Amino acid sequence: MLHIDIETRSDVDLTKLGVHRYTESPGFSVLLIAFAYDDGSVKIIDLAQGEELPESLLRDLIDPRVPKVAFNAQFERVCLDRHLGLKTGPWLCSMVRANALGLRGSLESIGLALNLSPDEQKIKTGKNLIRLFSLHRQPSSKNGYKTIYEPKDRPFEWEMFKDYCCRDVEAERAIFHKLSDFPLPPKEQKFYALDQKINDRGVCIDLDLAISATKINDELYQHYEEDFYDLTGIDTPSRLSLFKDWIKKVTGEEVMSITKSNLPILREQFKDYPNVVQALDIRELLSRTSVKKYEAMETLAGKDCRARGLFRFYGASTGRWSGKGIQPQNLPQNHLSDLDTARALIRQQDLESVEMLYDDPADVLSQLIRTAIIPSKGKKFLIADFSAIEARVIAWLAGETWRLDVFNSHGKIYEASASHMFGVPIEQITKGSDLRQKGKIAELALGYGGGVGALRQMGALDMGLDNQELQPLVNSWRLSNPKIVQLWYDAKTMAMNCLSSGRPQKLNDYISCRYDKSILFIRLPNGREIAYPKAQLRPHQKFEGRTEITYQELVRGDWSVKGTYGGRLVENIVQATARDCLAEKMLALDSKGYDIVMHVHDEVVIEVDPDGAEQQLQYVLGAMSEPLAWAPGLPLNADGFICDYYQKD
């Protein structure tokens, strides 16, 4: 096993643009490579001063029989692949291992959390050394008008830098050994390899659209500020103290805060002052951040117009991916019926026509963000997603028979839920009916133990429901789904019994848990486990006389105590299982030669040739709907479509 750490330099900001853009720059180079085999001594190669890579090390870097290990292995892999012009691997990532156990943070913070010995911990002066040798600087008389320091410029510090690189290998290796009792399952290693393949492939960006949208947004921003000045005499609504003073002058009422969350309240409060409402509207328009994703797309796109490294493996403790860069999991939805027209107008930077055709040009820009992600030239997007995957998984785990019957037949869970709750024949519940609306909001909000608060948070009041309807809706849903409700209580009982006795417990044929080294592990249907570190039972912080389950998460170096309950445990189990379903299907599709460029929660995006695209769509949908060996009886189904740019159907 080959443990590796490297030090590099580039004129591209790694923290903002990611490792793929960092290594693409002509200013990129590898300065130092420190390595050790198994528990052997650490050696270092000083590439910056002319030392060459030993043939034996080069051979082992590309030998698939020799596992390479690093903390955040993606960085070492991408950098070494670029430097060598070869594909290295396979790679094991000790950071991913730590993340899977609820440990998140830097090499230093995770090392401290695992109580590494002082000799194994990261050298804390490393940041200063990185600034000295790896980061470009503004030339000045103080630094001898240098944009970067070379080893010969600071020989003493350079030797410290080499020691720092070697110590990182020792720290990473110590973390790897500390976590050796909890290795990633072999299937998870395959998922990680696929994740890296997808991140390396990247996705194309329509730079013409992104650049034009940014210019249109700047023009809109200027117009809005001019309108705001005409109303208030203030140059920008970001000057909150002046804005508050103006509101008091106009209305006689004092405003304590102006935030996105309280803007609806303020609009209602000052509805008799149209100019104040208009000024608040302008502030909201100017505070929209989603259009900044266009700027992120521009900077992240490489020379081939592809943005890479957009997904973080094990971004959540459940194993779900999270996003980086343009954050694909957090893109605004599109509801425009004429996306082609809107895209053409933005590409032409025709703001006048946009304002003529649409009530809210800023909203148009927001809705078009997805469409700036496009397939390669001569290709199409095949977009496929699971149908109601979480609702299917929870029904299967709970054994809620009537729901499984719905998913095995027509699949209309909102209508069926309303029918079940209110005793109305499903045929009478149409798409626009109030009952379907109630069924939908109940399904979205109540599956994990949520109550009235969950309904409000999900937008029940905005959907036309009254406050007095909410609790009866909760009661109706729970009465209609007794086995799911029981699953919440059973999950809590399982975890509490495990923590109190220290012995493994079983929830059903698919879910069990164990307690090992202060970690509560919940085993999922496919054999993978999700971890709750430092789990324990303690007196409930809110309800006297009750006991609650707590665990801790390491986030940016600090332990944070979290309380949990049956519904939340079920939510974690369901989302983790849904993630495993998608990962399994992506691995199968990749093995058949499908080029996956993106995936978002329950959705996969594939580049395909236009010829035969519909046939390929049918194959993909069929593959995603096939039963999984480890989930007998789980009714999977998928929908999809072919398109010329990323969008919601």
Mean pLDDT score, 180-198: 95
Distance CA 203, CA 305 (A): 8
State how far the Cα of 592 lies from the Cα of 611, in Å rounded to an integer.
Answer: 17
Q: Compute the half-sphere exposure of residue 551: CA atoms within 13 Å on the CB side of its CA.
A: 25
Give the model's confidence band at 83: pLDDT under 50 very low, under 70 low, under 90 confident, else very high: very high
Q: Which residue has the higher pLDDT, 122 or 485?
A: 485
Give CA–CA dist 114/196, Å, rounded. Answer: 27
Q: What is the mean pLDDT of residues 169-184?
A: 93
How high is the pLDDT of residue 600? 93
What are the E-state strand segments in 318-377?
Answer: 322-323, 373-374
Of 310, 287, 285, 288, the residue nearest 297 (C-alpha): 310
Say yes or no to pLDDT of 121 above 90. no
Q: How confident is the model at residue 261 (pLDDT cuts 50, 70, 90)?
A: confident
**Bridge partner list, 554:** 103, 559
pLDDT at 236: 85
Single pTM value for the model = 0.92
Determine the pLDDT at residue 348.
94
Average pLDDT over residues 104-128: 80
With cut-offs at 50, 70 and 90, classify the pLDDT of residue 45: very high
Count Cβ atoms within 10 A of the Cβ of residue 587 and give its class: 0-12 exposed, 13-18 middle, 19 or more buried: middle
Cα-to-chain-centroid distance, residue 56: 39
Location of structure tokens 């950098």:
79
Which residue(s) pair with 505 in the sheet? 513
d(CA 151, CA 9): 13
Q: Can you tell me the mean pLDDT for 523-543? A: 93
Work out the mean pLDDT of the chain and round it to a whole number.
92
Q: What is the DSSP letter of 10?
A: B
% residues pLDDT > 90 (the chain): 72
Q: Which of 461-470, 533-542, 599-608 has the lowest mean pLDDT?
A: 461-470
| Identity of the residue numbered 217 | N
Read off the pLDDT band of 146 (50, 70, 90): confident
Higher-scoring residue by pLDDT: 649, 494: 494
pLDDT, position 289:
63
Average pLDDT over residues 191-213: 97
Strand, helix or coil for residue 552: strand
Q: Tell me phi and psi for residue 496, to 5 degrees.
A: -65, -40
Query: To the nearest whole percent, how much of the chain has pLDDT over 70?
Result: 99
Q: Is the pLDDT of residue 259 over 90?
A: no
What is the pairing mode between strands 68-70 and 91-93? parallel
**The pLDDT of residue 307:** 97
Q: Is the pLDDT of residue 551 over 90?
A: yes
Q: Averaging pLDDT over each range in 105-119, 273-287, 395-409, which range is the top one?
A: 395-409
> Edge-to-edge strands of the sheet including 558-564?
536-539, 547-555, 558-564
- What is the pLDDT confidence band of residue 592, given thresholds at 50, 70 and 90? very high
What letter represents residue 553's amino acid?
E
